Structure formats: C-alpha cells, structure tokens
Amino acid sequence: MNSRERVFAALNHKEPDRVPVDIGATLVSGISAIAYSNLKKYLNIEEGHIRIYDVPQQLARVEDWFINRFNIDVLDVGSAYLTGDEDWYDVEVNDIEAQFPKWFQPEFNPDGSIELIHKDGTVLGRMSKDALVMDQVYYPFQDSYPDEFNLLSLMRILDKNMWGVCVAPPFSNMGEKRFWRTLRERAIELREKTNKVITLPFGVSIFQGMHSYRRMDKLLIDTARNPKKLEKFVDIQIEFYENALKVICKYLGDVIDIITFGDDLAENNGPMISPRVYKKFFKRGHEYLCDYIKNHSSMKIFFHTCGSVKPLIPDLIECGIDILNPIQINARDMDPKELKQEFGDELTFWGGGVDTRNVLNRESPKNVKKHVIELLEIYYPGGGYIFNTIHNILPDVPPENLIAMFEAIEVFNNTL
C-alpha cells in the first residue's frame, strides 16, 4: 500500500498493511521546535532549517528527511507555502537557532520576551524569555460584548485576536492574488507527487473560538447568566465558518482529504462544560458545519479536543465527525481499550499512541517502546487508527525517546 491507500484503509475501518503515521500534518499533531532541533542534532542532520511555522505553539515544520526516514503518511497542504529562504528570517529563541516566517514581526524586548502588538499599541500575545509558547493576553470582548453584535462587528475586531492574526500556512498567504486557485493547484500537485493524504488545518472552533474573544471564565459564566447573548455568539460563529467553508468546499472539497476542527471541550477530569450545556449551546454549531462539509465535499472531518471527553463522544458522533484526536489516555475515563470497544466502529482514533506527559519525556527508551507497542496492539485491530502522540511532541522529549517511539512502530509493523 502507498500512504493514501494505507490511511484510507484505516479511515474505512479496515486493517492496512502497517500502522499509518502522522507527525506534523495538523496544528495539534506536530513537534515543538525545541524537540525537533534536539532530534536533528542527535542524528547529525545538518540540512534544512528549524522553521517555526506555528508561532503561538512554537511548532517546527517537519522536513523531507523526517518524512522519509520515519514513514510519515500525511502532509499539511500548508507545507506547499513559505518554501523559499526569502519567506523566513533568523531568530534565536529558547536557546535554539530557528527561523520565523516573514509575516510575523513581533517586538523583541530587552528582557528576552517577545510580544505581538497591534497597530494601536495593544499587546495581543506575549512569550516571556523562558516560556515555551505564546500566551494570549488580550481578549476583545473581555469587558462586554459590542452593542452592535453581528458578524461584521466580529470581523472588525479579528485583527485584535491573537489567534486571528497568527495563522499558519496556507492561510498566512490569503492576501495573494489567485489565492484559492493557487491553493487548489498546489494541493493537487502535492497529492499527486507524494501519494500522501493531504490535510487542511482550518481549525473550525465554536466553543474555543468564542472564549478567544470573551475569555474562558466570562464565557462559562455566560452559559448561566447571559444565555441569549451566548446563543447569538454561536449564530455568529456558524455564519463566520459557513462563509469560509463555502469557498473551501468550492475550491478544495474534492482535493483535500481531511479538514480539521479544533475545539477543546475537556480537561483532565472531565468536560469543561456538561453534556447538557454542550447540547444547549454548542452542539448545533458543530452539527451544522459538519453537515455543510458532508453535503458539499468529500473531505473527512478531523475533530481535536483534549482531555477527558468521553461523555461528549456520542454527541460528536451524532454531529458527523469521522476522526477524533488526540485520545488523551492520561486523562480520566480515557482508557484506550474501552474507547476502542465502545466507539471504534464509528470513529477513527488519531493519536494517543504515546503519553507525551508522563512517558515519552520521562521514561527510558526501552519503556517507551514497550508503551507504544502495547497501545498499538489495542488500536490497530479492525483499522480505524492513525498513529500520533497525545497532542504535539513537547520540548522536553529526549531525541532518544523519539527514536524509540518510531522504532516501536517498526517493530509492531514487522509482526503484521
């Protein structure tokens, strides 16, 4: 099987010839620039660069040597953008030599911090000298909703939302002429040249998108004290994403394989909102947009939510998602055996192949291998599984353990 055949076999709940692998094809299944730099040094890889294509999370773009060496089956269509040296500039961040995209021009402060500053002087995001990610520090609707609350008022304030400004490729290039036609051409070329599955990291986000404007605590209070305004906000989010999806489906609906939703709904001990609150306010947004994608494209829907999300999985299935990520097995009630038995016929699990918080970064290579193989023995049977870690590979992961992780996949594949 080639990569496309392998991944689609898994998506169709058939056992492929080997476990399909993704590292770097979405903004929630990638690798920290620090971990990537350490891996290249460990392997004496001198070619290429450490290019931080996702600025808030400080994720590195994986290069051809990585894709080929570790048999990666899935690619981000954004990898066809910002490919020239002129698109990047050198920086030193977190004690590594790296590059930022030219479009990202933050303030480099004397204390070593980096700030993203709006033209009116508002600090939107900040990464202190010793921080590993950029934190959002300004929320446009933190104090109150605008008097005239509609899609237009949201669009007016988009450039004061850190997540609306810090967009990864291909959408970092939205201002270019013929953007959509060119994106379609590049997606087709990438798929035909590589035989890989192609993702579009669009990141549809209802709940998480709303608290990026309102702030989490205020949004949660709104579910009880300001439900009408909250319902209006959901309507505006649906309108915003539907307008975008109309263009995406028109130009890319038949050439992109997987589109991503990114909407964290849970934390370590359970959902951040109850199933009742999810059903009342947010589910209709996910359901409507999933229906739109299903009716206007052939794209599979990848849904990312961290944490103990099990109580909400039946609702997500009803919404129409095809793929659940990251399968946070170190959270409450996220036992992979139980999840596979209960939902494995209806969902493809993408991730959860190694614990990035307790094992990949702390255990010995031997224990990492054992851990990965044990998990693959659970996930692989019957298809419906794509290997990835629990969320992005973190900065503190030793390169020896990354090698052990990939070796474990090879050991498992050789037993099939």
Which residue, chain included where needed, has tokens 């353990």? 401
Mind listing the pLDDT tens digit of every residue in the chain (416 residues)?
999 999 999 999 999 999 999 999 999 999 999 999 999 999 999 999 999 999 999 999 999 999 999 999 999 999 999 999 999 999 999 899 999 999 999 999 999 999 999 999 999 999 999 899 999 999 999 999 999 999 999 999 999 999 999 999 999 999 999 999 999 999 999 999 999 999 999 989 999 999 999 999 999 999 999 999 999 999 999 999 999 999 999 999 999 999 999 999 999 999 999 999 999 999 999 999 999 999 999 999 999 999 999 999 999 999 999 999 999 999 999 999 999 999 999 999 999 999 999 999 999 999 999 999 999 999 999 999 999 999 999 999 999 999 999 999 999 999 98
Nearest to 352 by CA among 380, 387, 383: 387
Q: Which residues contact 195 (CB under 8 A, 6 or more apart)?
A: 2, 3, 4
Please give the C-alpha separations between residue 184 and each of 14, 171, 179, 255, 317, in angstroms, as whole numbers.
Answer: 29, 13, 9, 7, 29
Q: Is residue 273 situated within a structural domain?
A: yes
Looking at 43-131, list the stretches that DSSP marks H as alpha helix, in order from N- to C-terminal side: 64-69
36 near 50, Cβ under 8 Å? yes
Q: Is residue 12 situated within a structural domain?
A: yes
Tell me the residue ranges of DSSP E strands in 55-120.
59-60, 74-76, 88-93, 96-101, 107-108, 114-117
Nearest to 303 by CA among 20, 8, 15, 26: 26
Q: Is residue 134 situated within a structural domain?
A: no
Q: In whole angstroms, how large is the CA radius of gyration of the chain?
A: 21
CB contact burial 238-252 (16+ within 10 A = b; e otherwise):
bebbeeebeebbebb
109 near 199, Cβ under 8 Å? no
- Residue 155: per-residue pLDDT: 93
Q: Is residue 207 situated within a structural domain?
A: yes
- Residue 412: per-residue pLDDT: 98
- How many folded domains does the chain comprise? 1
Please give the C-alpha separations between residue 133 and each of 93, 128, 167, 342, 383, in angstroms, as whole numbers.
Answer: 11, 9, 15, 35, 35
- Residue 368: per-residue pLDDT: 98
**Rounded to whole angstroms, how far apart are CA atoms 121 and 279?**
39
What integer best gives the mean pLDDT of the chain? 97
Note down the domain range covering 223.
3-87+139-413
Nearest to 76 by CA among 208, 183, 234: 183
Give, for 270, the enclosing helix (H) or strand (E): strand 270-271
CATH number at residue 49: 3.20.20.210
303 near 261, Cβ under 8 Å? yes
Q: Is residue 112 situated within a structural domain?
A: no
**Rounded to whole angstroms, how far apart are CA atoms 235 and 178?**
30
286 near 53, Cβ under 8 Å? no
**Rounded to whole angstroms, how far apart are CA atoms 126 and 133?**
9
Q: Which residues contact 415 (CB under 8 A, 6 or more apart)?
A: none
Q: Is residue 106 situated within a structural domain?
A: no
> Edge-to-edge strands of the sheet including 323-325?
74-76, 197-204, 258-262, 300-304, 323-325, 348-350, 385-386
Q: Is residue 95 situated within a structural domain?
A: no
Q: Is residue 170 situated within a structural domain?
A: yes
Nearest to 209 by CA among 180, 230, 179: 230
- Residue 16: per-residue pLDDT: 98
